[in-house]
A and B are shown apart, each in its own frame.
Chain A
Amino acid sequence: DTEVTQTPKHLVMGMTNKKSLKCEQHMGHRAMYWYKQKAKKPPELMFVYSYEKLSINESVPSRFSPECPNSSLLNLHLHALQPEDSALYLCASSLGGPRRPGELFFGEGSRLTVL
């Protein structure tokens, strides 16, 4: 199984809503990532979890809250978002750890629209 599965594929939410994006992989990868991608722009790194601990936070606003309940799951909790947060949110995983610069496997993404 070489898949990264993201749900939901599409999400529409109001600015006062609380919602979550979910990501799952069963490749035994220990590094998991959230990226945000606006139209016609490259993916922008948000968070990295390494061995279930948050290792990188690229100065992301607190209205985005990541969670890694176990080595296979990664969530992104959304609260009080703004319309400019509308984007494609991509989850990825890799083997992880130092001296193991293997490839990232990406999911198809969750397309978020904030009204």
Chain B
Amino acid sequence: DAKTTQPNSMESNEEEPVHLPCNHSTISGTDYIHWYRQLPSQGPEYVIHGLTSNVNNRMASLAIAEDRKSSTLILHRATLRDAAVYYCILRDGRDDKIIFGKGTRLHILP
């Protein structure tokens, strides 16, 4: 399984943008980049995914490097409810296997 590397934790101020990095230097051509987050005492929640182009949805934006070896999840305006563990995952488009890495614990300061 292709691996991802994320910082263990990050801090950000409320109402500021947050950029969560992810390195995936061994990504293959069939791997999609997925982001999930897990709030305390809840199951993980899908955030966004992409293959090659940058993606936007109501929750976040995903910026993918041109060589696809890294990506950044962007929360445009953090709120206290965005405090969670954020997981960057590579999902092979050819199968249903999804393996979680250690993730980044995001702390939001009021």
Contacts and interface: CB of A to CB of B under 8 A. Distances in A.
B17 interface: no
Nearest to B87: A42
9 contacts: A42-B87, A48-B96, A92-B44, A94-B96, A99-B94, A101-B92, A106-B43, A108-B42, A108-B43
B96 A42 contact: no
A71 to B, nearest CB: 14
Interface of B: 32, 34, 36, 42-46, 49, 85, 87, 91-103
Contact of A33 (B46, B49, B93, B98): B98
Interface residues of A, number: 28
Given A99-B93, A104-B46, A42 B100 contact: yes
Contacts, number: 60
Contact of A101 (B32, B99, B100): B32
Contacts of B103: 42
Interface in A25-54: 31, 33, 35, 42-45, 48, 50
Contact of B96 (A35, A96, A107): A96
A43 B44 contact: yes
Contacts of B98: 33, 45, 104
Contacts of B36: 104
A55 B96 CA distance: 9
Nearest to A88: B43
Contact of A45 (B46, B92, B97, B102): B97
A103 B46 contact: yes
A98 B44 contact: no
